Amino acid sequence: MSRTLFPFSAIVGQDEMKLALLMVAVDPAIGGVLVFGDRGTGKSTAVRALAALLPPMRAVVGCRYHCDPASVSTFCDECRERHGAAPMEVEIRPVPVVDLPLSATEDRVVGALDLERALTTGQKVFEPGLLARANRGFLYIDEVNLLEDYLVDLLLDVAATGESVVEREGISVRHPARFVLVGSGNPEEGELRPQLLDRFGLSVEVRTPGDLPTRIEVVRRRDAFERDPARLVAAWEKQDVETRERLLAAQASLGQTIVPDTVLEQAAKLCVALGTDGLRGELTLMRAARALAALEGVPEATTKHLRQAAPSALRHRLRRNPLDESVAAVRVERALAELGLT
């Protein structure tokens, strides 16, 4: 369970991917990250490394959904009942980063009756699934483009409402399931369903680094980790601690970070220019710019943040135009330039 994880700071390059993960950690409302790209570029390494980096969270003691004691509106039914009756005990626990394996069956994803208790004591007790475990944290799906359609449907439902509803053996359970969806995959295995693609707030592309010194450094660090994980972790601990503190500060200041009207207007113009469907693009862009400002420790998002957030917030929302040769990111850049936002 507690395998040593590759340190986040020791990942060579891949800045866009690392930044996107930090952005959603600052503001989960951005809505998840899709990491698509070449094999062996450390996609899953980065996601798992993030788990070790995340500052711990406050949660209600004994709650199976680790409800946030400060947010009554997102309480599960049990916490709501207990609330007010007695003061709630609070514990500090790690933010969950839950793996959803492709082979998972539906009952483990949404939860089902506890088989053990049913067999031993004949009791009907709901046993929460992966979605419950991921509440307030991250749900990670590697090779997300290979996920079974019926599991995708299920995720889409839950992602839309923020809660999971389970009806089994005459019991009915409704519980909060708000999580940041992180998916990774290789586009050569096939495309992602458009509905699912749309649910990801940010989308980043990762490439194998081409220049030799970088490649050597990647191999060197990976090799060092495989030889002696503890040593590499120790060597990078300082940087990881710094990043964690930056995250904490950004989470704390996010509420006060302002996105001025001028930046909102620019965001709207950019989305119109790119023809991104729906409002989600604009919203994501705004939140992403704000998260970037918070990560930088400045009180106000600027055009710079907007520009920095635009490729990952919009590249997967562009209409596919096969006759336009350029990569999505280039189209975003072009639109930025045309609007004078560079």
CA angle, 142 then 208 then 152, to 5°: 20
Query: Interface with another protein includes 149 (CB under 8 A)?
Result: yes
Could you say whether residue 282 binds another protein (CB under 8 A)? no
100 lies in the binding site for another protein (CB under 8 A): yes
Retrieve residue 157's tokens: 């439902």
Q: Which amino acid type is present at position 124? A: K
* Residue listed under structure tokens 């520009």: 307
Among 72, 77, 150, 238, binds another protein (CB under 8 A): 150
In terms of DSSP bridges, do strands 137-142 and 97-99 run parallel, antiparallel, or are they unpaired? parallel
Report the greatest alpha carbon distance in the chain.
Answer: 69
Cα–Cα dist 216/32, whole Å: 31
Secondary structure tally for the chain: helices H, strands E: 14, 11
Region binding another protein by CB under 8 A among candidate stretches 67-75, 141-149, 263-271, 288-296:
141-149
**Catalytic residue of the set 64, 168, 193, 280:** 280
> DSSP state, 86?
S
Number of residues that bind another protein (CB under 8 A): 65
For position 174 contacting another protein by CB under 8 A, the verdict is: no
Report the nearest approach of another protein to the CB of residue 247 (Å): 26
Instruction: Determine, following the binding rule CB under 8 A, whether residue 112 of this chain makes contact with another protein.
Output: yes
Neighbours of 191 (CB within 10 A): 11
Answer yes or no: 280 catalytic. yes
Stretch that binds another protein, among 32-40, 59-67, 241-249, 277-285 (CB under 8 A): 32-40
**Residue partners of 148: CB distance under 8 A and separation at least 6:** 102
Contact 220, 52 (CB under 8 A): no
Q: Is 231 in the site for another protein (CB under 8 A)?
A: no
Closer residue to another protein in complex, CB, 78/99? 99
Which residues make up the interface to another protein (CB under 8 A)? 1, 38-41, 44, 99-109, 112-116, 118-120, 122, 124, 127, 130, 142-143, 146, 148-150, 167-170, 186-191, 193-194, 208-209, 212-213, 215-220, 222-223, 226, 320-323, 325
User: Which residues are part of the catalytic machinery?
Assistant: 280
